[in-house]
Amino acid sequence: KLREAWPTAPTMGWDYWVRTAFYREQKECIIPEVSRSHHASLKGSSIKDAKQVLLFESMALAQIPSTCTVSAPCNHFGNISYLLAEEYEARLRRVIDSAPRLTIQGSNVLPPRDNQLNTLHVVPYMREIFMTMAEKVGLQPRGTKNSIPHDVRSEHYGVVAGRLTQSRVPVLLVDRRSSRGYL
């Protein structure tokens, strides 16, 4: 389907176009722990300054070669049926409903109690303050502010996975105004 809808002269970068095309088809990239793309070049149409180079250099690249082929099923990830929409949505709701909440104060996320450092926490947020929190939840490396557009990426209806940079506490940022009504 994507190939059929590919524009002959897209006005935005391919990654932006693919992301919005998937949304139109109600498909998406599952919340990744590792970025879905990595720029290896030091310059290009969307790489314009040293901050962007720093951002991309901080991303990990896979070191294990793929053994998947086009002629056989790929089983690198085991049983991933839990990622099908209905099961994924049900699991995500259970996690959000049961996770303790952290509070945003100014542009800081207040830390959890010491006995909850390994517990996943939910941080309710609104998109207008997302970029003030991006570095604090590990979504933007230090020193790379304004190197990428100010929008929420790699999200599921306003839910973004991250880790508090100071304590490494895992968090789910959950948009208070998500159309899915998670909060």
- What is the structure's pLDDT at 136? 78
- What is the structure's pLDDT at 156? 83
Single out the residue of 170, 116, 149 nearest to residue 12, CA to CA: 149
- The answer to whether 116 and 100 have CB atoms below 8 angstroms apart is yes
- The answer to whether 173 and 133 have CB atoms below 8 angstroms apart is yes
- What is the structure's pLDDT at 40? 58
Residues 60-89: tens digit of each pLDDT: 666 777 777 778 777 777 888 888 889 999
Structure tokens that stand for 5 in this block: 């809808």
Single out the residue of 129, 137, 127 nearest to residue 177, CA to CA: 127
Burial bucket for residue 134 (CB in 10 Å: 0-12, 13-18, 19+): buried
Nearest 5°: phi and psi at 92?
-60, -45
According to the 3-state scheme, what is the secondary structure of the chain? CHHHHCCCCCCCCHHHHHHHHHHHCCCCCCCCCCCCCCCCCCCCCCCCCHHHHHHHHCCCCCCCCCCCCCCCCCCCCCCCHHHCHHHHHHHHHHHHHHCCECCEECCEECCCCHHHCCCCEEEEECHHHHHHHCCCCCCCCCCCCCCCCCCCCCCECCEEEEECCCCCCEEEEEECCCCCCCC
Could you say which residues of the chain have pLDDT below 70?
A: 1-3, 5, 10-19, 21-23, 29-49, 51-52, 55-56, 58-62, 107, 141, 143-153
